[in-house]
A and B are shown apart, each in its own frame.
Chain A
């Protein structure tokens, strides 16, 4: 029995409450109880903790950490005792970390980290453990369980089946989450270490997902529905994404009607920005950047074999808020009444060239009312559909009532 660990644990608990216990005193009391009076270690720890708490006039020591808590109710800053199953182990990112992964109980799941200095026994995947006196803090916006030198870990003889509770995508929070979702987009990977990335959706919304390259990790099939248990929910720039490396995913029967969490905005198009109209794009696969007039791509330099595209960068203003909107080719063609082929033809024969297309498109849309819906990304509305607002006599009648109702 190593008493210094127990001593450390007790003093940390008291220090957390603002007391300054004498470690030697703790150790000698423990020693006395265990060695001389044959009290078992757990009981000795409890007794000494309670005694010292009284002496230092602090309350709530011991109770807070020995009382069993459901994982979903734990908030950062608490000392806790939990019982849970190791549902994922991830490779430690630093030598000072012995183990990282996810521990779950029936209420929820949480990431954990075991410090190398804690000298804690390694936990095994799929087993249940009781973890006493661990600390929960916040890491990257998500609660994170820290196993330190004062934490007691004991393996439990238990293998209760654990059914994770599914969270709707719209309600996911940073941390750990399980979803039932459909793969609606499969994007090109942007990194060597990335196995797959794309968009998952359920009835409530959509979320980006990533699977990093790792042994035994499979790709998801496009348009298939999966139950994804214990994925890591990360937050970056205010947007959430799911990392599936900690997760277990199994295909599910059935289909999901994916809810598009689209933003709709109605207003007048008060500004058409430079860079609208006919543009040239870099032909290098996966690049697609806009070229300058001299066909220069910021990454791939001069690209004479560019391809043409149409777009509108504009401001849609409802009188209260001005929003940046970006419209793609098909929408521009409809709104401006000009096809890409016609635009190219005009640009190549007209002395004003591409400017002519800019003016034509600007004159067609500037100052007119539209309803745009799409996804908001980086302070800009990526428009999926855009329709001109039409005059509704009912609206006029309602406004007349509103203006006249109280005037008399």
Chain B
């Protein structure tokens, strides 16, 4: 454990839906029960928190005893699956109040699930969600494009990106294309 004074909050990485969807590799940094869990994003960085802005198109209340909400947030490249359960009461109530469709900003933790038929799903456990406007969405696309390009520029030079190469065989030019397409959808 790090001493309290050295504590640094994990930054929220910016990632497009189509990249997060490809994420498969998850690891724990340290042996401790409380050690943070990270995923390695295909563009080559570890992440235990992400920040996304998109359109909430759908939300559903599920469960009887343990109520939780699921939702879909769409960005220019695809769909994020978000969920907020009773362990995140604030986030769950925030989500409960929002009526789709709406632009939302979500801070959350990415986690991997394997469905009974063997498919791997990435969902985002919501820490907070709030309604924003279109300009914020556009700013997020620019921000995410920039951060993704920064990661691709450094690809192959960092430990995390070597791990990504090993796990996913990432082709940086493919992700550049995704970034380009995402940017093209932003209206001037």
Q: Which residues of A contact B (CB under 8 A)?
A: 268, 270-272, 315, 317-322, 324, 362-363, 366-369, 389-391, 393, 395-396, 399-400, 402-404, 406-407
Contact = CB atoms under 8 A, between A and B. Distances in A.
Given A268-B12, A270-B128, A407-B177, A390 B135 contact: yes
A357 B176 CA distance: 43
Q: Which 5 A-B pairs have the closest CB atoms?
A: A367-B105, A322-B9, A366-B130, A403-B180, A403-B179
Given A317-B12, A367-B53, A396 B186 contact: yes
B183 to A, nearest CB: 5
Contacts of A363: 130-131
Nearest to B173: A407
Nearest to A364: B130
B155 to A, nearest CB: 12
B147 interface: yes
B149 A399 contact: yes
Given A271-B107, A404-B176, A407-B180, 10 more contacts: A317-B11, A317-B51, A319-B14, A324-B9, A367-B130, A391-B138, A395-B142, A396-B142, A396-B188, A400-B183
Contacts of B12: 268, 270, 317, 319, 322
Contacts of B130: 362-363, 366-367
B104 A367 contact: yes
A272 B107 CA distance: 11
A320 B158 CA distance: 15
A320 B11 contact: yes
B128 A366 contact: yes
Interface string B94-136: 0000000000111100000000000000000001111110011
Contacts of A400: 180, 183-184
Contacts of A318: 11
A186 B96 CA distance: 50
A66 to B, nearest CB: 47
Nearest to A397: B188
Contacts of A271: 107, 127-128
Nearest to B107: A270
A362 B173 CA distance: 39
B146 interface: yes
Interface residues of B, number: 39
Contacts of A321: 11
A348 to B, nearest CB: 24
Given A366-B105, A367-B104, A367-B107, A268 B143 contact: yes
Nearest to B15: A319
B135 A391 contact: yes
19 contacts: A268-B12, A268-B140, A268-B143, A270-B12, A271-B107, A317-B11, A319-B14, A320-B11, A322-B9, A367-B53, A368-B105, A389-B139, A395-B142, A396-B188, A399-B146, A400-B184, A403-B176, A404-B180, A407-B177
A404 B130 CA distance: 32
A399 B149 CA distance: 9
Contact of A319 (B13, B106, B136, B139): B13
B99 to A, nearest CB: 14
A65 B149 CA distance: 58
Nearest to B172: A406
Contacts of B29: none
B5 to A, nearest CB: 8
Nearest to A405: B176
Nearest to B177: A407
Contacts of B173: 406-407
Contacts of B105: 268, 366-368
A369 B51 contact: no
Contacts of B136: 367-369
Interface string B159-177: 0000000000000010011
